[in-house]
Amino acid sequence: MVVGKPLFTVEQIQHRVREIADAISSDYEGKDILVVGILRGAFMFMSDLVRAIKVPVVIDFIIASSYVKTDSTGEIKIHYDIREDIADKDILLIEDIVDTGVTLNHLRERILARRPKSLKICALLDKKERRLVDVPLDYVGFDIPDEFVVGYGLDYDNNFRNLPYIAIFKKTV
């Protein structure tokens, strides 16, 4: 197993996180946000992001896993659901990486069914080439090519989440 050199360094990530937080603070001026992180991958991004957001936030989480049977069908299992009452709230959903879009699309529809005042989505990484379902992304950290990445919350078999940077991961044979 090989973790390559950083695709995005600590400095690049921190700089981009601050830019996104500034955009969010300005877009939500005068409002409160219910920030919902999708665990486990988004934990590090979310914790940096919310510390840089300047409007009041309430934090909640959702834990979901996808069981993709083919490239076009995915089944999503919810292990922990949002506890806050989301009706009439401004929700900001935080995802680590959008790949096919299946997971995020499912969660988006699930949240919209509970009638929030608004729902925006913030993803750290966007692997556009792999998209199967079109999901609207309001804030994106970085576009990336079709490579498997680890670090800054993202795992391979639950390892490497603690790396402070993002790197391409190659499985050696």
Catalytic (active site) residue 48: no
At position 57, the amino acid (one-letter code) is V
DSSP output for 73-140: -EEEEEEE---S--TT-EEEEEEEEESSSHHHHHHHHHHHTT--SEEEEEEEEE-GGG-SS----SEE
Task: Compute φ and ψ for 147, nearest 5 degrees.
Answer: -135, 155
Q: Name the token pair of 62.
A: 């959702």
Candidates 101, 108, 116, 152: give the one binding ligand 5GP (CB under 6 A): 101
Q: Which one of 10-18, 25-33, 77-85, 97-105 is the stretch in contact with ligand 5GP (CB under 6 A)?
A: 97-105
Q: How far is the CB of 90 from ligand 5GP (least distance, A)?
A: 23
Q: How far is the CB of 137 from ligand 5GP (least distance, A)?
A: 11
**Interactions with ligand 5GP, residue window 18-57 (CB under 6 A):** 41
User: Are 1 and 158 spatial neighbours (Cβ–Cβ below 8 Å)?
Assistant: no
User: Are 139 and 123 spatial neighbours (Cβ–Cβ below 8 Å)?
Assistant: yes
Candidates 94, 103, 107, 122: give the one binding ligand 5GP (CB under 6 A): 103
Q: How far is the CB of 131 from ligand 5GP (least distance, A)?
A: 8
Residues near 5 by beta carbon (within 8 Å), at least 6 away in sequence = 167
Candidates 13, 149, 166, 167: give the one binding ligand 5GP (CB under 6 A): 149
Q: Is 97 in the site for ligand 5GP (CB under 6 A)?
A: yes
Sites of contact with ligand 5GP (CB under 6 A): 41, 66, 74, 95-104, 127, 148-150, 154-155
